[in-house]
Amino acid sequence: MEIEVTKPVQCPFCGHQTEIVVDTSTPADDLTVDCERCCRPFEVKLACSPGKVLQVEVDPG
């Protein structure tokens, strides 16, 4: 079972979709992601179980 998985997220500002690497060994995590297109940062809140991303919430911050 892979602990690190990739998950697509969409920038709340410009709509660009990018993939992030998620460490699923942590049950909950908050990440700050910089959009590759518009360079604006946004928050990604994750809920995980080992090997799976259960919930993704994107917040403009």
pTM of the predicted protein model: 0.89
Per residue in 1-59, pLDDT (tens digit) is 789 999 999 999 999 999 999 999 999 999 999 999 999 999 999 999 999 999 999 99
The amino acid at residue 40 is: R
Determine the Cα–Cα distance for residues 33 and 40; give it in Å rounded to an integer: 8
- CA dist 37 → 3, 9, 12, 41, 47 (Å): 28, 13, 12, 11, 26
Task: Print the domain residue range for 16.
Answer: 4-59
**pLDDT for the residue 61:** 83
**pLDDT for the residue 54:** 97
**pLDDT for the residue 7:** 97
Number of structural domains the chain divides into: 1
- The tokens describing 58, both together, are 């994107």
